[in-house]
Structure 1
């Protein structure tokens, strides 16, 4: 089967990483795979893997992009179009109106907010990355029997712990060997969207957290505000801004736990990645996070905006290395059983084959 994966861009992000990982996995299974996007650093990665990339300016001109997709579909005798993100889904639906080919859409976030996004209901199958997203789509009026939950997968060969790296990472950052260290991995849109402000407040205000360290992995428009806040509150020696890191698994070994007090998550891929690295996770119970974290076994789910409870759960981890180790091991097993990329890929293949007959 010839599969065309479509995504607006190929910079680092949840949907983009999903597309790159899926493309490589499908190629290894013998599928002919190509990708259409507006470009980005992952496009070069795909070319190195022998996967053809087509430039299509999806976010800038839907009509032109739909026409370009039509030409790619016809030229390459594409059997399945698999779109990712609302813009890609809308574009693929328009192309489908001119060329008969099944279209699958993976919803990496909630959708159906306007008339354009409602056209995604014309897709043959809609994959939701969490049951939360599926139920949300049903409430929005999408056809229930088109919707299927397939959790995003983790490459367990890539995300695996290596305790020998811990000392090296901490030495490079100036973190004491025995200091309880938490990590947050996300785009920094602002200080509140992913909960950076909540973590900083704990480091500032709570007496038991005065020796804790924080690794901030990611960048975004809010980074300068974050750095100013760190400087203003004399947290420079305990908060380490590491910027954007492509292979985040290379630095997660430096942390004892991962925290993600987001306002909202449709799934929370970084939670699964951290658990694969045998890190206990602490997150607000929002959106799809309760489907990712097995509460009190692989980490803790906390009521949104409950800073005292967030601090209490982090204290439990700070006070017990044995608890961190046991939760980390449970987390790895949990990911192996539920979020292995092989599970996801096999389910995708089943969907492709059901539509491509």
Structure 2
């Protein structure tokens, strides 16, 4: 255990920082930096060094320094520049935030555990549910190195179970720490709109999000004689499927693709909607659903992955099978027409989301993990 000045030296490792699609991570990092007993450094491979992040040298500079290190040290295992850097800095823990950077620490994982920093890797849903099925490097990583990693962080209990049962990772190494929407804030329950149902989705255009199922819910509401507006925030490789299905189902006049906007602007807009809809086929947790509930928007989600863990069925929203299109539509219409019940759902959503998914909980869980791993 390499502890200096009684502080645990922790590197948060990114590809780039903070130029990524998740705006929720920097506030967590900043909160961790303020904690006694931790010394947090952010390292990245791309971008520019400043007061918040130290960017590694370019590829060729790293290769030159690796060669120089080889010539001056006897090595049983070849180490790359990053691994050498962490050893020389006496880092206690490397927390890999961009999981696809795992090849950068395979040399360290080949060393004896007491001669290297501890390795923690945060996993996205795709790292667990999709990539190991189609990418050999991920399957091999779990098989050959998975139980050498000191800790994996998953977003949900479902993701943890999948990682254990499908890819053989020891349950004791998997820690469920849901991502947070930010600090707690005061909010009041909202009322449903009166002239039409306003529905929102926030997701990437990909097969996992069940584009077809979400659109067929809108089609059913329209065919029920209810005026409906459906706005989608996001983009992605399956955007062509979206346009084709909107045309096929004849719902052009009630569906709007907004695209990507800044998270702060999105937060302000979401409260204007009556429901957030997410009938995903695969989902580690569902950050947009958490965020919508935190400001009082009831959710209709599928029972895929971690979604049932963030929606309390018949209290903060509804959980259905991803193919239960008509059922999802009917439940939304029914709740929308009962203002008192809707307000109660909105109140429950605020209380539950603010209680379970605030930044204080996430930071507290991370600190506990860091201390346990560093023992």
TM-score, normalised to structure 1's length? Answer: 0.81
What is the alpha-carbon distance in structure 1 between the residues aligned to residue 259 and residue 85 of structure 2? 36
Please point out which of 261, 265, 284 is paired with 1:245: 261
**Alignment deviations for residues 293-323 of structure 1 (CA, whole Å, 9 cap, x no partner):** 1111111000121111111222123222333
The partner residue of 2:196 within 170, 179, 189 is 179
Deviation at residue 81 of structure 1 after TM alignment: 0.6
Distance change >3 Å, CA 131–CA 315, structure 1 → 2: same
1:217 aligned onto 2:233? yes
Q: How does 1:296-311 map to 2 (within 5 A)?
A: 296-311=314-329
- Deviates most, 240-249 or 113-122: 113-122
1:79 is aligned, of 77, 92, 95, to 92
CA pair 97-286 structure 1, distance change in 2 beyond 3 A: same
Q: Give the one of 215, 221, 240 matched to 1:200.
A: 215
The answer to whether the aligner puts 1:341 opposite 2:342 as a matched pair is no
Match for residue 24 of structure 1 among 30, 53, 72: 30
SS in structure 2 of the partner of residue 122 of structure 1: coil
Q: Does the 8 Å contact 1:195/1:263 carry over to 2?
A: yes
- Secondary structure of residue in 1 paired with 2:200: strand
* TM-score normalized with structure 2 length: 0.77
User: 84-93 or 318-327, which moves further after superposition?
Assistant: 84-93
SS in 2 for 1:316: helix
Conserved? CA contact 1:183–1:255, under 8 Å: yes
Corresponding residue number in structure 2 for 1:131: 157
Give the number of aligned pairs. 332
Q: 1:17 to 1:299 in 2, by over 3 A?
A: same
Query: For each residue in 1:57-96, what CA deviation from the matched residue of structure 2 results, as whole angstroms up to 9, or x when unmatched?
Result: 99xx9xx9x7242244245442211113542334334344
Larger displacement relative to structure 2 (82-91 or 310-319): 82-91
Higher relative contact order (CA 8 A, sep 6+): 2
Q: Which moved more, 1:85-94 or 1:341-350?
A: 85-94
Q: Which residue matches 2:52?
A: 51
Give the root-mean-square deviation of aligned CA atoms.
Answer: 3.3
Taking the TM superposition and a 5 Å limit, the aligned residue runs for 1:153-172 are 153-157=180-184
Equivalence for 1:120: 146
Q: Secondary structure at the match of 1:240?
A: strand
Q: Alpha carbons of 1:84 and 1:279: their partners in 2 closer, same or farther (altered >3 Å)?
A: same
Change (3 A) 1:300 1:55: farther
Q: Judging changes above 3 Å, is the alpha-carbon distance between structure 1 residues 228 and 141 closer, same or farther for their aligned structure 2 residues?
A: closer
**Measured at CA, do residues 269 and 352 of structure 1 come closer, stay the same or move farther in structure 2, by a change above 3 Å?**
same
Tell which structure's C-alpha radius of gyration is larger.
2
How far has the Cα of 1:271 moved from its partner?
1.6
Quickly say closer, same or farther: Cα 1:72–1:162, change in 2 above 3 A: farther
Residues 186-217 of structure 1 deviation map (CA, whole Å, 9 limit, x = unaligned): 1112xx43122223223334422641101101
